[in-house]
Structure 1
């Protein structure tokens, strides 16, 4: 039996709440005309997937007025949480993170969602997520890319950011299920898109809309930085900087794997940037450096070249001195 139910009558509501036994019951009082309720319905749907032993009820407040009046529901969205027929908690407003916290706490260990970063490899995932979140001052996790959003919410948030001249980078969560599931738990925010500024979660579409309407969006997001300035900053992040597909631990193409082997053999320290995780950098660096392929190796901010040039330097015995900036 589905654990996400549309309730259309007072009797059905009573049956669902009293008949759930010791199961947690989460009730969303909503209205079809309120856009914030639509987003919170998506939150409910995600929570229902993760907490299969919890019942989630959707009640159109104006369609079942007896229930709304009994629980003094005067605005939407409103959430009530029950167990054994007794009301435990109440939440007024579209606060996805707070609702998620309440459900996780009252439902127990968090159901069978599988998105947790606990256990083997969890800390590695957390580190990867932190790196992604901080990949740009303004970072949007969305479905698709800014040029081709793949859901309505992503399309709307991209349009808002562009309208207000906010410079941002993005990550397509449809391209990586580990990131897609892990970020929900990491940020305690169960839906997408998600906008981060300077490593901190701002929220989803509704919050960005509120910031835009109040005139606070430009102040919340950092001042626009030109792409050239951003590329120079990344290039100079380390004396030896390699732009590749993947990272030091896991190369994601043959050319990147080969250049890692060559560099590792020199025992000269270097850093890497995964161009697969930032489309703006991936495309922009080609023009900036006038070098159309990857990997690309930089030393002290200057382009050395790709795999073939690095191989030539190795064969001539010059590679170590070039990496150390001696020649």
Structure 2
């Protein structure tokens, strides 16, 4: 076997290791930090009230998180949550970014309110409901939705893509009249889908509302549409 001249093993190893370690470009660390900060800003603004906790409201994974969930439940606070145990980058980043070292943490409109002790004080003083948004009842939510526009169509799919034949036909009828209307995709919200059936005593979809009043479904709209052109 012929050896390659000039190959000094220890020196060669050092060179390979030195060149195989990718140098981090200047500024990359700063960019990564900025990216994390932007992510944190988006997370704390993901809902009007955001709770960063260990676990989930259904399964809190520490006593403090469990207590704050219970307080929110008692005071009918509407909130979304983020499990900091699922993302170490967020867990550590929030401590530094908002200068609050412990969890849970509560944010309202992107601003830090504080942890369990602060929430307890707000609850005891009666200020919690004024600080955090209250849960909207399903009935009030449905009323708000059907009055979102003068003409509201609750359908399967949306204006761009109907997901059933009746919804497609009712879209065509509305479009032919030139009436301005808005739609709600009941396939995206099971609570609304089931709740509206009871609220308006109309078991099928699509459903058309004008100024908050139920007109009816496909067959009713079809009759109106035909009479419109007679």
TM-score norm. by structure 1 comes to 0.39
1:153 is matched with 56
1:224 Cα deviation from its structure 2 partner: 4.3
1:283 is matched with 194
Unaligned runs of 5+ in 2: 1-20, 40-45, 81-105
1:104 is matched with 35
TM-score norm. by structure 2 comes to 0.53
1:300 is matched with 211
Identify the structure with bigger relative contact order (alpha carbons < 8 Å, sequence gap 6+).
Answer: 2
Count of aligned positions: 165
What root-mean-square deviation, in Å, do the aligned CA atoms of Structure 1 and Structure 2 show?
Answer: 4.5
Partner deviation per Cα, 1:190-232 (whole Å, 9 max, x = no partner): xxxxx996xx4568xx977576345365333224443323322
Partner deviation per Cα, 1:116-161 (whole Å, 9 max, x = no partner): xxxxxxxxxxxxxxxxx79xxx6889xxxxxxxxx94252489544
**For the residues of structure 1 that align with 2:22 and 2:117, how far apart are their CA atoms?**
37
1:240 Cα deviation from its structure 2 partner: 1.0
Q: Is the 8 A contact 1:241 1:298 kept in 2?
A: yes
Q: Secondary structure at the match of 2:23?
A: coil
Asked whether 1:238 is paired with 2:152, we answer no
**For the residues of structure 2 that align with 1:222 and 1:295, how far apart are their CA atoms?**
32
Matches within 5 A, 1:163-174: 163-167=74-78
Higher strand share: 1
When residues 284 and 262 of structure 1 are mapped into structure 2, their CA distance, relative to the original with a 3 A threshold, is same
Asked whether 1:212 is paired with 2:119, we answer yes
Q: Secondary structure at the match of 2:56?
A: helix
**For the residues of structure 2 that align with 1:196 and 1:292, how far apart are their CA atoms?**
39
When residues 224 and 296 of structure 1 are mapped into structure 2, their CA distance, relative to the original with a 3 A threshold, is same
Unaligned runs of 5+ in 1: 1-18, 25-53, 55-82, 89-99, 116-132, 142-150, 171-194, 321-327
